[in-house]
Structure 1
Amino acid sequence: MEFCLKLGKQESARIVTPITECKQLHLEYQSEADKEERVVSSIKVLKRKITEVEEETPQETEAEKVVQASTSRVISKKRYFKRQINKYKLRRI
């Protein structure tokens, strides 16, 4: 600023114009960098969410398998005891 004040109006106008252009270019560069940063952070968040979902899915399927196995065991036990009761009833007759 001090340098511009020592010059005449025309000369200072010539210097101020490139400075404002540089500031505008710098702001544009910053906004582009911010956009890129936001995109990169969004990609990281999406990758994290994908890995979380992938990690949860096998656990759920294993839990479902355990539930299915336990219910099938219960069903087979019920069938077994029904057969035993029926055999006992038939013997008593």
Structure 2
Amino acid sequence: MSGTRERLYLDAARRAGLAVPDDWRSYHKDAFPHYHVFATMQRARKDAAKKTVFASARIVAKVSAEETKTLSLYHFMQLGFDLSSRE
């Protein structure tokens, strides 16, 4: 994964109020559950537009840490997580 894209994910996550790791290459997912879910879903759609990335971070920020462990991709999509490509 491109360091540029990962920096975008970190920036979007921070702006949404998510706790983010110091090193995106090596972190424990249980310590950063929201970031882990957000970044994992973003990595599956490398060509997402910036505004979509930021909107998706805000959606993940709205769920509880426990929900990040139990909600399915379908549920995140129901909340508004956009899996489309560039606009």
Which TM-score tier does this pair reach, normalised by the shorter chain? under 0.3
Structure (1 or 2) with the greater helix fraction: 1
- For the pair shown, which has the larger CA radius of gyration, 1 or 2? 1
Higher relative contact order (CA 8 A, sep 6+): 2
TM-score (norm 1): 0.18
TM-score (norm 2): 0.19
